[in-house]
């Protein structure tokens, strides 16, 4: 029975699960749970994940939620997954776990939250919140600084000085790549100072080509759409002198 | 070489690591990193954990941070740890991972944050913040409701319907038991409606006796201290009619 992924590509934890399957040749059926229509709260989806969050998977009769738990499971349950994704070595695995957990304890008010409050909220019916965005920006910058100075080391292109990516690279890169939806000025202001992080993101995209960019393109397309709306509103304001319909991003 | 734990018992992720070692007969040296003196930011501690958070461990020359990563490591690295803590079965382990990750994605603005803003902040030099406490209370209640309705099942005394606790029970119980520091009225208001959660906390304490309560006692002692200060302030107000020095908890 084919593995089912319950996902919306607008969500970065969903993107990481899809990319992992594509990279490792795991057959799957993608079931779209549309966040903008709040389908994660439907009675049908509740049968899959009573926590009512995505992503979730169904592998035969086995149901599982939380993207990191899903990545660990997929890495162990499917044959021929290369060891570098989730090393069997006790010490290497513990370090990968440490990065995964650090991401969760540090980033709840990091990039995902920042992007949500400053750009993505309206896509799921929540108004932009400039105060909350400002509150999370400081934490985001501090977290990027720690990736730059602690998790990325001189040797090795990937996290923890590795030569090949792990599920921690995949998940953290998806988290940070959520910032791609920002306009170029804000993106440069936040990520520009972190040269090592930018190089690592490039290396990760390249190591995971073409799947990383293909799955990430949902976000690039959304950015283009927002940009077009913004330009249309700008042009309407010029014509009518009226107030903008679309709120400023910052 | 004895395992070193870098901890402050005022922190619930630290308590869970200490309790796990005690329960499983793992010898350790407890190195107190005093959060109230910001010792986690000292140059000496930076050598142990450059992320500058606790808990961290040093096992020989191997250094590790993040409490969940530490629990997984200890369960695998030390001999004779009972399987129920971190099951080797693929499906059982995946479910434990799912709860651990859910805790991290859900509780950053849950009990720890609520207790910090409403009681514990001053212990580490941060003023109480009633607005932030109010903001996190709603999320905390919603999370307790999910533990009650999803993670605790009719069969089995522990999470996921198990008859024996896992590291997810230990960690989540320590997280919620942080609420013990609240005064009785607030504690009852928040936890009172969740009878199944209260029973599970009792079962967990009993299954982990006497170590759970012994380690948790740091918090009970702090509560008593705060209560005494509050009473002293109250009595001074009665005598002088002056304003209270200690801020209200809510």
Same domain, yes or no: B147 and B77: no
User: What is the CATH number for A40?
Assistant: 3.40.30.10
Interface confidence, given as ipTM, is 0.89
Residue B149 lies in a domain: yes
Same domain, yes or no: A107 and A64: no
Phi, psi of A78, deg, nearest 5: -100, 145
State the best of A69, A90, A93, A112 to mutate against chain B, taking most chain B CBs within 10 Å: A69
Same domain, yes or no: A53 and A142: no
Residue A170 lies in a domain: yes
Residue B216 lies in a domain: no
DSSP state of A83: G
Same domain, yes or no: A96 and A74: no
Locate tokens 């013990």: which residue? Answer: B180
Same domain, yes or no: B90 and B201: yes
- Say whether A64 sits in a helix, a strand or coil: strand
State the best of A61, A94, A136 to mutate against chain B, taking most chain B CBs within 10 Å: A94
Residue B240 lies in a domain: no
- Low-confidence residues of chain B: pLDDT under 70: 108-112, 230, 233-250
What's the number of domains chain A is made of?
2
**Do β-strands B56-59 and B3-7 pair in parallel, antiparallel, or remain unpaired?**
antiparallel
Same domain, yes or no: A186 and A160: yes
pLDDT computed for residue A204 by the predictor: 98
pLDDT computed for residue A235 by the predictor: 56
pLDDT computed for residue A17 by the predictor: 98
Residue A77 lies in a domain: yes
pLDDT computed for residue A122 by the predictor: 76
C-alpha span between B249 and B181 (Å, rounded): 11
Q: Which domain holds residue A140?
A: 87-211
- Say whether A52 sits in a helix, a strand or coil: coil
Tell me which residues of chain A have a C-beta less than 8 Å from any C-beta of chain B.
Answer: 50-51, 53, 62, 64-69, 72-73, 76-77, 90-91, 94-95, 97-98, 100-102, 104-105, 108-109, 146, 149-150
User: Are B64 and A98 within 8 A, CB to CB?
Assistant: yes
Residue A51 lies in a domain: yes
Same domain, yes or no: B95 and B164: yes
Q: Which of B69, B146, B149 sits opposite A94 (nearest CB)?
A: B69
Over residues A131-156, mean pLDDT: 88
Q: What is the mean pLDDT of chain A?
A: 88
Highest mean pLDDT pick, A72-81, A148-157, B132-141: A72-81
- At a CB cut-off of 8 Å and minimum separation 6, what does B149 contact? A50
Over residues A114-119, mean pLDDT: 77
C-alpha span between A44 and B22 (Å, rounded): 44
pLDDT computed for residue A233 by the predictor: 64
C-alpha span between A59 and B150 (Å, rounded): 20
pLDDT computed for residue B196 by the predictor: 96
Same domain, yes or no: B157 and B126: yes
User: pLDDT band at residue A249, thresholds of 50, 70 and 90?
Assistant: very low
Residue ending a domain, among A51, A81, A111, is A81
Q: Which of B73, B105, B146 sits opposite A94 (nearest CB)?
A: B73
- At a CB cut-off of 8 Å and minimum separation 6, what does A26 contact? A3, A20, A74, A78
Closest CA to A28 of A6, A52, A10: A6
pLDDT computed for residue B241 by the predictor: 41
Residue ending a domain, among A195, A211, A227, is A211
| Tokens linked to B133 | 């406490």
Task: Burial-class residue A137 by CB neighbours within 10 Å (0-12, 13-18, 19+).
Answer: buried
Q: Which of A53, A73, A104 sits opposite B104 (nearest CB)?
A: A104
Residue ending a domain, among A26, A60, A81, is A81
C-alpha span between B50 and B71 (Å, rounded): 20
Same domain, yes or no: B7 and B18: yes
pLDDT computed for residue A133 by the predictor: 80
pLDDT computed for residue B147 by the predictor: 96
Residue A47 lies in a domain: yes
Higher local confidence (pLDDT), B246 or A91: A91
Asked if the model's pLDDT at residue A155 lies above 90, the reply is: no
Task: Burial-class residue B235 by CB neighbours within 10 Å (0-12, 13-18, 19+).
Answer: exposed
Over residues A141-158, mean pLDDT: 93
Higher local confidence (pLDDT), B220 or A191: A191
Asked if the model's pLDDT at residue A222 lies above 50, the reply is: yes
Sheet with A28-32: list strands edge to edge: A28-32, A3-7, A56-59, A62-65
User: Are B101 and A76 within 8 A, CB to CB?
Assistant: no
Same domain, yes or no: A119 and A157: yes
Residue B186 CA from chain centroid, whole number: 18
Same domain, yes or no: A207 and A97: yes
Over residues A9-16, mean pLDDT: 95
User: What is the CATH number for B115?
Assistant: 1.20.1050.10
Same domain, yes or no: B145 and B91: yes
Asked if the model's pLDDT at residue A114 lies above 80, the reply is: no
Nearest Cα residue in chain B from A109? B108
Asked if the model's pLDDT at residue A246 lies above 50, the reply is: no
Residue A236 lies in a domain: no
């Amino acid at each position: 029975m084919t593995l089912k992924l319950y996902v919306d590509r607008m969500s970065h934890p969903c993107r990481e699960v899809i990319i992992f399957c594509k990279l490792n040749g795991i057959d799957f059926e993608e079931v779209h749970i549309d966040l903008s229509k709040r389908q994660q709260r439907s009675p049908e989806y509740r049968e899959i994940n009573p926590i009512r969050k995505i992503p979730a998977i169904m592998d035969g009769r086995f149901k599982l939620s939380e993207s990191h738990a899903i990545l660990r499971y997929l890495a162990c349950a499917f044959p021929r997954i290369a060891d570098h994704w989730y090393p069997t070595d006790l010490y290497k695995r513990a370090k990968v776990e440490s990065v995964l957990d650090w991401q969760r304890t540090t980033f709840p008010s990091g990039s995902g939250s920042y992007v949500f409050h400053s750009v993505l909220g309206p896509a799921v019916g929540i108004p932009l919140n400039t105060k909350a965005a400002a509150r999370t920006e400081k934490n985001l910058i501090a977290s990027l600084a720690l990736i730059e100075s602690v998790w990325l080391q001189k040797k090795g292109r990937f996290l923890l000085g590795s030569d090949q990516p792990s599920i921690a690279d995949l998940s953290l890169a998806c988290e940070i790549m959520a910032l791609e939806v920002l306009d170029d000025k804000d993106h440069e202001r936040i990520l520009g100072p972190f040269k090592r992080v930018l190089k690592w993101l490039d290396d990760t995209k390249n190591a995971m080509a073409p799947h990383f960019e293909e799955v990430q393109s949902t976000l690039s397309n959304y950015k283009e759409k927002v940009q077009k709306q913004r330009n249309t509103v700008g042009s309407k304001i010029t014509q009518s002198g009226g107030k903008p319909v679309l709120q400023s991003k910052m």
